[in-house]
Amino acid sequence: MKKAVTALPIFLLILTACEKNSFVADQNLLTTSNGLKYRYSDFELYDSSTHIFYFRTSHPEFPSENAEAFSLLAYGDIIYNGTFHPAFSSSLPSGPYIDTYMSLYQDFAFRINFMSVGGLQKDNRNDPVLVSILKEHNLLHSGLSLAINSIERVGSELVLKCNLTNHDMEDLLVIDPAKTGIDLFHYFTNGLSLRDIANNTVYAEPIQPVTPDPWNGWDLNWLSQLKSGESREFTFYCPLSSVSSVAPGEYNAVFTYPGLEFQVSKEQLYQPGGRVWLGSVEAKKQILLH
């Protein structure tokens, strides 16, 4: 009887250890409805500012046009589900989605986008549980943030001042408008837009961008280093075609700071000055124009 009592705690300890190992053994981070499975070890990093996942190696099979949905998991538990959405589809996606046609990134990276029709759906792409588990696996990178400091009317222009901050653990290489010139810079972004809160009217900056030569090329000389923890202010002079009719009042301002996308290959991602930052970040601010 004494031996049986002694053996019971040992048996429970072994059983608990087996259950724990079974729990930890599920290392799938992403699965698809057509059976593709990717483990934590298949990924190099996740940029929480752009919602871009980077594989360690190229995966030409992903994203798959044969799959309808995907799931992000933490040790077997689904954190959130999303859909694959072809760009030529006439329907609008809802919630998290991945573009499957004419991807903006080469086959080592993909971006999870989000759309909420009517603003009813919560954006959970940076769910705290997912962020925690990615951090545990040394995959979490914080990327960049953009903040609009001020927008003022100066003569026939609006002067936009914004801050770009590197929250990442790595030094990043970002597109520098002083190096590209403003016209080439606007090939990568639509510029400033204002929505009149009172009249719901949109004013957009007129843009005549310069296309890179070749159109799918890029130059390291376009980029500047933004060190980890560094913040830099950029000033943009934005002539609006209807600037004279932009009446004094309150506006919702939107500006997107761009990065490179499909141009950069896996072999080109890391340069002597840091990692080439891919994607884009958006800043919104309610402003009062005089």
- Looking at residue 156, its pLDDT comes to 80
- Looking at residue 21, its pLDDT comes to 40
Contacts of 25 (CB under 8 A, 6+ apart): none
**Domain ranges in the chain with CATH number 2.60.40.2360:** 143-289
- Looking at residue 244, its pLDDT comes to 52
Helix (H) or strand (E) holding 205, with range, is none
Q: For the whole prediction, is pTM greater than 0.85?
A: yes
Q: What residues are paired with 257 via a beta bridge?
A: 281
β-pairing, 109-111 vs 140-141, is unpaired
Running along the chain, 290 residues long, what does each successive block of 10 average in pLDDT? 47 44 68 94 98 96 84 95 82 88 86 86 94 96 98 89 98 98 94 88 84 94 98 91 71 96 96 97 94
- Looking at residue 87, its pLDDT comes to 67
- What Rg value do the Cα atoms of the chain yield, rounded? 23
Distance of alpha carbon 25 from alpha carbon 35, whole angstroms: 18
Q: Which CATH class is domain 143-289?
A: mainly beta
Contacts of 21 (CB under 8 A, 6+ apart): none
